[in-house]
Amino acid sequence: MIIRKENIGNVTCIKGEWFLADGKNIKINTNNTNSRKLLGAPLELIIYPSLLCDQNCDFCYIQNKTKGAMSKETVQNIKNYILEKKIFAITILGGEPLLPVASKISQEFSQFAYENEVICNLTTNGANLQEHINWIKKYDVKLTVSIEGTKDIHNKITHSTSYDNVLNNLKALDKKLPFSVSTIINRKNINNLYKLRCELLKFHNLETWLLLYAALCGNLKRNRDIIITLDEFFKTVDELKGNVPITVNAPFYFKHNNSKLPASNFDKLFVGCSAGKTKAEILPNGDIYPCCFMFDFPTFKMGNINKKGNWWEKIQKEFNVRPKKCINNCKYAKICTGCIGYTINAGVEEDDRCPYCQN
């Protein structure tokens, strides 16, 4: 495992040999397995230059699309934190990060990441993509474009007329650099995904098709009827596999995939949700949350990048997700937490959606 020294907090529960980013290695050999704090800083920051968007998707997790963009002070403080803590990766989201209000900030972060050997990801709806392709390629940005179905379905879900424009932009993009496509599977597009796959097969530079499960937050609180069950989601994913490389982001997918159990406490960081374990999310005003599913709940604000204080330590101490109650002797019982964002938004004590732990 490769890790930077500055990302290691109290690692006394890790055994074995770990290689640092500079090529040197560090050996940790201790019997203390009671430590909870594993990382001295997140491995990834999710950055929101603006919450404004030119679409209004049925499942968008941003309810309050406030006007304005990230200030110069906030941008600089995020940069300082990335350098100080040796952050591995950033992901630029929104809102729409390529709108005029946010695009210069997105480009600035991309250039900064490139110059400091930080991985940079950016997700866009693709409607404003073509004029930004050159700097996206120049700064080696890992690009993902959201497409929710073929023309009528996509436009209906996004409440826009953007499909033709997005497709034309992807054709221009396909000639210049690799990219990924993301789709949130829901009741409105579940029967349209095979047609969409046929469209995606036409692209030569498509790296992966990211399939996501619709999370109960934001706009979905008033559109609950479009949420499918996890059984339906897993079945659909299995049927879509082949020809197009697929990546999946869904709760309990590691169970469906029969993934191996983590070999160490450090490996547990990379099982299930990364909120508060390896990532943090920063809003345009500098407020910091463990996860975007909690933006509507100020209780889960862990700090502000423009103010003093060890907000990551606060996340480590306060955002302690305990394993959910598993039944049927599930082998993942000690590590499975489900999605805490779902429990908060649904007003339930624990994530009870797991299809493998039903009575």
pLDDT digits (tens, 9 = 90+) for 165-181: 999 999 999 999 999 99
pLDDT band at 9 (very low <50, low <70, confident <90, very high): very low
pTM summary value: 0.86
pLDDT band at 303 (very low <50, low <70, confident <90, very high): very high
Instruction: Flag whether pLDDT at 305 surpasses 80.
Output: yes
Instruction: Flag whether pLDDT at 24 surpasses 50.
Output: no
pLDDT of residue 65: 67
pLDDT of residue 316: 75
Q: How far apart are CA 181 and CA 198, in angstroms?
A: 13
- Distance from CA of residue 36 to its chain's centroid? 23
pLDDT of residue 15: 36
Q: What Cα–Cα distance (Å) separates residue 163 from each residue in 167, 256, 333, 334, 345?
A: 6, 33, 43, 44, 31
Structural contact between residues 201 and 164, judged by C-beta atoms closer than 8 angstroms:
no
Instruction: Flag whether pLDDT at 21 surpasses 50.
Output: no
The 10s digit of each residue's pLDDT in 148-204 is 999 999 999 999 999 999 999 999 999 999 999 999 999 999 999 999 999 999 999
pLDDT of residue 36: 36
Give DSSP secondary structure letters for 154-194: HHHHHTSS-HHHHHHHHHHHHTT--EEEEEEE-TTTTTTHH
